[in-house]
Structure 1
Amino acid sequence: MKKMKNQITNAISDFFFEYETPRQVLVRNRRVGVVCRLIQLGVLAYIIGWVFIYEKGYQSTDTAVSSVFTKMKGVGYTNDKGKERVWDVADYVFPPQGDSSFVVMTNYIITEGQSMSKCPELPGKHNCSSNTDCEGGSFKRTGHGQMTGVCVNTTKTCEVLAWCPVENDHIIPDPPLLISAENYTLFIKNSVTFPLFGVTRSNLVEGIDASYISKCLHDPEKAPLCPIFKLGDIVKLSGFNFETIAKVGGAIGIVVDWTCNFDVDVRHCKPKYNFHGLYGNPTETDKARASVGYNFRYAKHYLEDKIQKRTLFKVFGIRIDIIVQSLARKFDIIPTLTAIGSGVGIFGVATVVCDLVLLYLLPKREFYKNMKFKYTDTHIQVSIMMHEQLFDGNAVVIEVSF
C-alpha cells in the first residue's frame, strides 16, 4: 500500500513539475542547410506576400446589403411612314418603377387596329393547298391563333381565329426608329450598408451635391463619380456599337463596385462603375446563332364602336441590369492570429523535407539516423526493474549511458 501511494505521489509530482522537450540534432551539411533555408524563405514569402499583403489575412471581411434606384430622362422623335411621334420616358422605359433592371426601347414594329376575328396566317407560318392541310381547332407553336380548318386560296395559308390582321415582324426597321435614344441619360442612386462594421455609404459621396449632379456627365477619367450616364456612352463602354444594338436589342450590365478598406477613413470608400455586354451582340461572327438581340411584345387595348381592339408593339430594346458587388475589410485580431498560427505551422514543412533528405537520400543516412533517434535496450530495462525489486524499501537511482 505504501509503495502504491509513493508511486501515485511521484506520478502526480512528475506530471506537474517536469517539462519534456524534444531532442534536437544540429547537422552541419551545406546542401541540407541551403534546402532548409530556401523552403523557410518560400514559406515566409508566402505568409507575408500572399496571406498578409495580397489576401489581407489580417482583416475580417463583410459584404453589403444594397438598394438601387434609377431614373431615365430624355425625349425621342420618330417619323414612321409619315407619322410623326414624340416619345417620353413613360413610353420607352419598361417597367416604369425605377428598378435596377429595366429596358429602354430603341426600335419597334407596330401592328395597329387589331381585333378578334378570322384572317389568314402569314406566308411561311402554315402553308396549305386544301382544307385538309388545316386541322380545325389545333394550334401551331409559331402561329398566331387557332386554325379554323379553312385554307385561304388567295394566300395559300390556313385561316386562324386570332387578333387580326396578324403581326408581320419579318422586316425590322433599319436604321432603328429611336436612334435618338443614344442621347438619353440614366441616373443611378445606390446605397450600401455593411452590417458587420456598421457603415452605410451612398454613391452620392462627399462633393456630389445637387449643383454638381445638374451639370455632370459620367466619364471614366474626368468624372468617375458622376451618377449621370449617357446611354450612348454606356453602350460604347460595354463594347457595343449603338446603331447595331439598337436595331435588334441587347443587354448591358452596369457593375457598381464597392471595394473598401475601413482601416482608413470611410470617406475613401467610393464606388467604381464598370460596363459589360451581357448577351445579344449582333456583331458576332456567328450569324447562325439563335435568338440574337432582345425583344418583347406588349399591347394597348381600347374600344372602337363598342369593339375591343388593340395596338400591338414588338419592342426591341437595351436591357440594363445594375449589379452591385461589394467587399469591405477591416483589421481584426482573430484572423491575424489565425493567419500567423497557420504560417508558423507551415514552417514545419522545411523540417519534414530536410529529415527526408537526411534519413533517406544522403550517403551518410545511417549515421544521421543514429544521431537523430535514441534506441533503448529492452534487456537493460528488465535488469533495472529487477534491481528495483531487490531494493524494495530503499530508493536507488541507476543511470545507464548509451
Structure 2
Amino acid sequence: MKNQITSALSDFFFEYETPRQVLVRNRRVGVVCRLIQLGVLVYIIGWVFIYEKGYQSTDTAVSSVLTKMKGVGYTNVSGIETVWDVADYVFPPQGDSSFVVMTNYIITEGQKMGKCPELKGMHDCTSNADCVGGSFKRTGHGQMTGVCVNKTQTCEVLAWCPIEDDHTIPNPPLLISAENYTLFIKNSVTFPLFGVTRSNLVEGIDSNYIGKCLFHPKKEPLCPIFKLGDIVKLSGFSFEKLAQEGGAIGIVVDWTCNFDVDVKHCKPEYNFHGLYGNPSETDSASASVGYNFRYAKHYMEDKIPKRTLLKVFGIRFDVIVKSLARKFDIIPTLTAIGSGVGIFGVATVVCDLVLLYLLPKREFYKNMKFKYTDTQTQQDNESIDLDSNAYYTLEANSRQVQDEDKPNDPDSEAGSTEAEVSEMRIIDCREK
C-alpha cells in the first residue's frame, strides 16, 4: 500500500502530460491559421497595449476649481449712465465653478405692491366674468381681483406694479462690453492612487507671467486667464448673438497624464464647448432659447417698500474638470497578456471546423484527430489477449518438459510424440 501511494505521488509530481497533436499539411488551412493569429497579434499589440494602454493602471482626480472675473461695463439707457463692476454682473459672486455673467437686461424700476392691469395677451377679458377673483394664472404676474380693466381689456391683478414688460429684448445687448472681461481659473487636482497633486499653475507660471499673459490655444496654451470673447469664439458661437438672449458655455480642463514619465509633464489642456445649443442652429422658434433669470433690489421710499426688478440675460460658464492618469502596473499587464494568449485559441477552433466539416477529406482528418472505441470490441480484444497469453504459457511449459524428458539419443521419438500431443491439446482448447 505504501509503495502504491509513493508511486502515485511520484507520478503526479514528476510526470508531465501533453495533449496529442496532429500535424496537417494543408496550405489553405495553414494560411487561415496564420492570418487569424496575425490578426490576434495585431489586436493585442496595437489595440490593447498601444492604444488602450493595457499595461497601465488608471485613476481619476479629485478636483477643486476657483474662478475670478475682472472687467468694467458701461451702459447709457434713456440718458441714464451706469457703470457695472464685478459685484453687479457676476452671479453668484463667490467664485464657483459655475457662474453667470450678465450681458443684457430688462429693468423695471419703482415697483410697489398694488393693483394694476395684467399685460396684454396674458389674460385678456371682455367683462368681469372672465376674471375669476382669487385665482392665479401660471404665466401671470399676480392674483386676479375679479375686475376687468376696460382700458387694456385685461384682468386686474394684485402684484408688484407696474408689471414688467419683457416682450422686447434690447438689441444690441446693453452690456456688449462683457466681451472684454477676463476670467481667471485656478484648478487643483489630486490622483489618490498615485499620490500626485497638480495645479494648473504649472512650472513657469508665476505672478509676473499671469500679470501679462492671455490664453491662446497655440501661443499661450497654459495661461489661466481667458477673455470672454475668445471663449465664446472658440466654442463656435458669435458673442453678440449669444449675449442678447444668453446661453451656456462649458470650459473643459483636461488632465490626461502619463506618470511613467516625469510628473512635470502632466499639464492641463483647455477646451470650450457650447451647451444647450448648437452654433449652426438658425431656427428662431426653438423652445426655451437662451438663458435668463430675475432678481430684485429692494428698498424703502417714504416708508413704502419698493423694488427694482431686473430680468438678466447672461452667459453661464461651467468649468468642467476631466481627468485620467495612467501608470505601469504588472497586474493589468499580465492580465492583458493572459487574455491575448487565450484569444490565440480562436485560430485552433476555426481551423478544426474547416478541417472537420468543410474540406473534402474531412473523414480522413476526423480519423486522424479522434480515436474511436467500442465497449464490445474492447471486451473481445481483452478475451483474445487472455487466450493468447494462456496459449503461449502452456506452449512454453510443454517445451520445457519435452527438453527435460528427451533421451540423449537423438533418434528417439518418445519425447517428440508427447510434445506433439500436448501441443495438439492446447490448439484444440484454443479452437473451442
- TM-score grouping bracket, smaller chain normalisation: over 0.9
Q: 1:272 matched to which residue of 2?
A: 269
1:373 aligns with 2:373: no
Shift of 1:387: 8.8
Larger radius of gyration: 2
Q: Secondary structure at the match of 2:283?
A: coil
1:199 aligns with 2:196: yes
For residues 361 and 118 of structure 2, the distance between their equivalents in structure 1, rounded to whole angstroms, comes to 94
Q: 2:178 matched to which residue of 1?
A: 181
Task: State how 1:331-350 maps to structure 2 within 5 Å.
Answer: 331-350=328-347
CA change 1:231–1:320 in 2 (3 A) is same
For residues 53 and 9 of structure 2, the distance between their equivalents in structure 1, rounded to whole angstroms, comes to 46
| TM-score normalised according to structure 1 size | 0.93
For residues 319 and 164 of structure 2, the distance between their equivalents in structure 1, rounded to whole angstroms, comes to 33
Task: State how 1:32-181 maps to structure 2 within 5 Å.
Answer: 32-181=29-178
For residues 274 and 159 of structure 2, the distance between their equivalents in structure 1, rounded to whole angstroms, comes to 37
Q: 1:382 matched to which residue of 2?
A: 379
Equivalent position to 1:253, from 250, 254, 263: 250
For residues 378 and 9 of structure 1, the distance between their equivalents in structure 2, rounded to whole angstroms, comes to 32
Cα deviation digits, residues 280-300 of structure 1 (max 9, x gap): 468622221111000000001
Cα deviation digits, residues 85-144 of structure 1 (max 9, x gap): 000000000000000000000000000000110000111111111111100000001100
Shift of 1:263: 0.4
CA change 1:383–1:8 in 2 (3 A) is farther
For residues 287 and 248 of structure 1, the distance between their equivalents in structure 2, rounded to whole angstroms, comes to 12
Q: 1:225 matched to which residue of 2?
A: 222
Q: Secondary structure at the match of 1:114?
A: strand
For residues 282 and 133 of structure 1, the distance between their equivalents in structure 2, rounded to whole angstroms, comes to 44
Shift of 1:150: 0.5
Letter of the structure 2 residue corresponding to residue 355 of structure 1:
D
Tell me, which stretches of 5 or more residues in structure 2 are unaligned?
A: 388-432
Q: 1:244 matched to which residue of 2?
A: 241
For residues 186 and 170 of structure 1, the distance between their equivalents in structure 2, rounded to whole angstroms, comes to 32
Shift of 1:6: 7.2
Q: 1:309 matched to which residue of 2?
A: 306
CA change 1:177–1:115 in 2 (3 A) is same
CA change 1:105–1:220 in 2 (3 A) is same
CA change 1:313–1:349 in 2 (3 A) is same
Shift of 1:17: 3.9
Q: 1:397 matched to which residue of 2?
A: none
For residues 99 and 149 of structure 1, the distance between their equivalents in structure 2, rounded to whole angstroms, comes to 46
For residues 282 and 13 of structure 1, the distance between their equivalents in structure 2, rounded to whole angstroms, comes to 78
Shift of 1:375: 2.4
Cα deviation digits, residues 261-319 of structure 1 (max 9, x gap): 00000111000000001024686222211110000000011111111110000000000
Q: Secondary structure at the match of 1:240?
A: coil
Q: 2:321 matched to which residue of 1?
A: 324
* Aligned Cα root-mean-square deviation (Å): 2.0
> Contact 2:73–2:84 at 8 Å: present in 1 too?
yes
Tell me, which stretches of 5 or more residues in structure 1 are unaligned?
A: 391-402
For residues 143 and 278 of structure 2, the distance between their equivalents in structure 1, rounded to whole angstroms, comes to 35
**Identity rate, percent:** 85
For residues 282 and 172 of structure 1, the distance between their equivalents in structure 2, rounded to whole angstroms, comes to 20
> Contact 2:87–2:93 at 8 Å: present in 1 too?
yes
For residues 179 and 366 of structure 1, the distance between their equivalents in structure 2, rounded to whole angstroms, comes to 84
Letter of the structure 1 residue corresponding to residue 348 of structure 2:
T
Cα deviation digits, residues 139-192 of structure 1 (max 9, x gap): 001100000000111111100000000000011111100010000000000000
Equivalent pairs counted in the alignment come to 389
For residues 162 and 178 of structure 2, the distance between their equivalents in structure 1, rounded to whole angstroms, comes to 30
Q: 2:212 matched to which residue of 1?
A: 215
For residues 244 and 282 of structure 1, the distance between their equivalents in structure 2, rounded to whole angstroms, comes to 10
> Contact 2:236–2:279 at 8 Å: present in 1 too?
no
CA change 1:281–1:174 in 2 (3 A) is farther
Letter of the structure 1 residue corresponding to residue 74 of structure 2:
Y
> Contact 2:180–2:227 at 8 Å: present in 1 too?
yes
Deviating more after overlay: 8-17 vs 365-374: 8-17
Shift of 1:15: 3.4
For residues 221 and 6 of structure 1, the distance between their equivalents in structure 2, rounded to whole angstroms, comes to 81
